[in-house]
A = this chain, B = another copy of it.
Amino acid sequence: MASMIVTDPSSAAAAVHRLPFARFSNGLISLGRFVGPLHVCSPTTTLPRTLSLRSPRSSRFITASMATEPSAKVIDGKAVAKQIREEIGADVSKLKEAIGVVPGLAVILVGDRKDSATYVRNKKKACESVGINSFEVHLPDDAPEEEVLKFISDFNADPTVHGILVQLPLPSHMNEQNILNAVTIEKDVDGFHPLNIGRLAMRGREPLFVPCTPKGCIELLHRYGVDIKGKRAVVIGRSNIVGMPAALLLQREDATVTIVHSRTKNPEEITRQADIIISAVGQPNMVRGNWIKPGAVIIDVGINPVEDASSPRGYRLVGDVCYEEACEIAAAVTPVPGGVGPMTIAMLLSNTLSSAKRAYNIK
Interface on A for B, CB 8 Å cutoff? 25, 193-205, 229-230, 232, 238-240, 244, 248, 251, 254, 256-261, 263-265, 270
Nearest Cβ in chain B — how far from A193, in angstroms?
7
**B residues in contact with A239, CB < 8 Å:** 203
Residue of B nearest to A248 (CB): B201
Nearest Cβ in chain B — how far from A249, in angstroms?
12
Nearest Cβ in chain B — how far from A293, in angstroms?
14
Nearest Cβ in chain B — how far from A186, in angstroms?
15
* B248, A256: Cβ atoms closer than 8 Å: no
Known contacts A201-B244, A254-B261; 12 further A-B pairs (Cβ under 8 A): A25-B230, A194-B195, A194-B202, A197-B198, A197-B201, A198-B198, A203-B238, A238-B251, A256-B260, A256-B261, A256-B270, A257-B258
**B residues in contact with A200, CB < 8 Å:** 198, 201
**B residues in contact with A244, CB < 8 Å:** 201-203
**B residues in contact with A205, CB < 8 Å:** 194
Counting every copy of the chain, the complex holds 2
Cα distance, A227 to B361, chains bound together (Å) = 50
**B residues in contact with A197, CB < 8 Å:** 197-198, 201-202
**B residues in contact with A199, CB < 8 Å:** 194, 198
Residue of B nearest to A254 (CB): B263
Interchain residue pairs A-B with the least CB separation, the first 9: A198-B198, A194-B198, A197-B198, A258-B258, A254-B263, A256-B264, A202-B240, A195-B195, A230-B263
Q: List 13 A-B contacts (CB under 8 A).
A: A194-B198, A194-B199, A195-B195, A198-B198, A198-B201, A203-B239, A203-B240, A230-B264, A232-B270, A256-B264, A256-B265, A257-B259, A258-B258
**B residues in contact with A261, CB < 8 Å:** 254, 256
* A259, B260: Cβ atoms closer than 8 Å: no
* A204, B240: Cβ atoms closer than 8 Å: yes
Given contacts A256-B263, A257-B258, A259-B257, contact A198 B204 (CB under 8 A): no
Residue of B nearest to A185 (CB): B195
**B residues in contact with A204, CB < 8 Å:** 240
Most chain-B CB neighbours within 10 Å: which of A202, A232, A248, A265? A202
Residue of B nearest to A25 (CB): B230
Residue of B nearest to A260 (CB): B256
**B residues in contact with A265, CB < 8 Å:** 230, 232, 256
Nearest Cβ in chain B — how far from A141, in angstroms?
25
Cα distance, A14 to B25, chains bound together (Å) = 38
Cα distance, A235 to B262, chains bound together (Å) = 20
Cα distance, A200 to B202, chains bound together (Å) = 12
Cα distance, A297 to B254, chains bound together (Å) = 26
**B residues in contact with A264, CB < 8 Å:** 230, 256
Nearest Cβ in chain B — how far from A284, in angstroms?
23
* A258, B256: Cβ atoms closer than 8 Å: yes
